[in-house]
Each structure stands twice: as structure tokens, then as C-alpha cells.
Amino acid sequence: MEILGIDIGGSGIKGAPVEISTGTLLTERHRIATPEGAKPADVAQVLKKMVKYFAWQGPIGCCFPAAIQQGVARTAANVDKSWIGTNAEKLFAEATGCPVRVINDADAAGLAEMRFGAGKGIRGVVLIVTVGTGLGTALFTDGILVPNTELGHIEMNGRDAELQASDAARKREDLSWETWARRFDQYLRTMKALLWPDLIILGGGVSKKLDKFIHYLTVDVPLVPAATLNNAGIIGAALAAESL
């Protein structure tokens, strides 16, 4: 079954048709810059262009960096606050004329990893942590997703963990890999103490640079990089639309 997967991010909106039985992209992915401010109506127009580009008629799965409940965005940590309360599924379906499912971006990356990547066939508790502009989490138990965990926003040292341990924090504060890794390690150790995961999968930009910081991590949980990397969001979003 072919589904158009679209990953809506802070700087780019990327899409490609996905064969969901294999998790393969059927064409090169297409990227359109995220409109300034990333307001709902403007993002919907980009989705319309994406559908036109692929001459797409059929189901669409999108992922977005917010908690999404029955298609409605409930949070907006790094996106325009007007998303809160917006029914993204309805908005995108009206703009594209196609049935649309919208889920959280870390959950999408997690679905792709559990089906085709580093979590394939793994039972028990698996935590996916995506490290980029935000700190995203996806939690699975025996392969089943508990959606919208938003564990990047736990309190650490009296502040939102994401503000201290995301890749954006590393860049913003010009941290050495060691300084950043010690913060991230504290975050992962907290996750271990609260969730007791059997495996942690690291996604997002930093998972490609593991050699720069893995030696600073002391957390006592098997930790592996995501295997689907750049396309995890697209693939996982498409998987989420399987039931449309």
C-alpha cells in the first residue's frame, strides 16, 4: 500500500510516497521550506503544493512537533502558538482533498524504527529519543506505542529538560560535545530511573554524530542510533495513515 508521508519540521517540510509494507520511499523526497512563522494556514498551503508535486490522490500521513490528539494539536513548544487547538487533520484534508492522519513527530520516528529499524522485533520497553530543535520521545511496550509522551519537557535542574539537552541548546550555548553530553546523560539517566527501558534508540540529527559523545554517556541501558535516520518521520507518518 502506498501512502504519502510528510514530515513537517521547523525549517523544512519533506515528503515522499512510501510503500508501507517495506518502508521504502518510492521516489526522491521533496522538500519545501517551512513558511516564516509556520502558521497553520501557510503550512496547509505547502501541503497542497506537495500533493500537486506528486500528483497525489490517496491517503496522507503527516508528522508534526506537537502532542496530537485525534488530529488536534495540543501543544506548541517550538511552533506558532496558534497551533494549539487547531484540528490539523481537518485543515490538511480540506487543503489537499485527501484523507489525512497527523501524529507527533517523535512518535512517527518511533513507529518507523520499531517496524523497520533499530527496534524491529524488540519486545519490552523501548524509548526513542529524538534530539534536534526539540527533545522528542516515543515510548513502546511490546511494540505498542503510548502516544504523545512529551518526556522532553520533564523538569531537570528546575527547568524544562529540552532547554538544556536538545541539539538547539548545544548550538545556542555553543557547548562542547562533552558539556552537552553530560547534560544529555543526566536526562537519559532520569529516563532510566522513571521508565526502566530495555533499549533506548537515539534519533534526530545527533544520532549521526554518536562518535562525538557516546563515550561520555554513563547511562546503563543499551543505546543504539536510529537506523531510518533522515526519513524516519516520513516513513512513520505514512505508517500511521495505514488505517485511513
- The nearer residue to ligand BGC, 51 or 105, going by C-beta atoms, is 105
Dihedral sign, CA of 166, 141, 220, 236? negative
> Minimum distance between the CB of residue 161 and ligand BGC, rounded to whole angstroms?
10
Told to check if 150 binds ligand BGC by CB under 6 A, we report yes
Closest CA to 232 of 147, 100, 136: 136
Q: Which is nearer to ligand BGC, 64 or 116 (CB)?
A: 64
Report the length, in residues, of the chain. Answer: 244
- CA 157/CA 234 separation, integer angstroms: 34
104 lies in the site for ligand BGC, by CB under 6 A: yes
Residues 60-89 binding ligand BGC (CB under 6 A) are: 65-67, 75, 77-78
Which span (12-20, 103-111, 119-127, 179-187) binds ligand BGC, by CB under 6 A?
103-111
- Asked whether 24 and 78 are in contact (CB, 8 A), the reply is no
At 21, give phi and psi (nearest 5°).
Answer: -75, -25
Site for ligand BGC in 156-175 (CB under 6 A): 162
CA angle 143, 145, 150 (to 5 degrees): 140
Q: Can you give the binding site for ligand BGC, defined by CB under 6 A? A: 65-67, 75, 77-78, 104-106, 130, 134, 136, 150, 152, 162
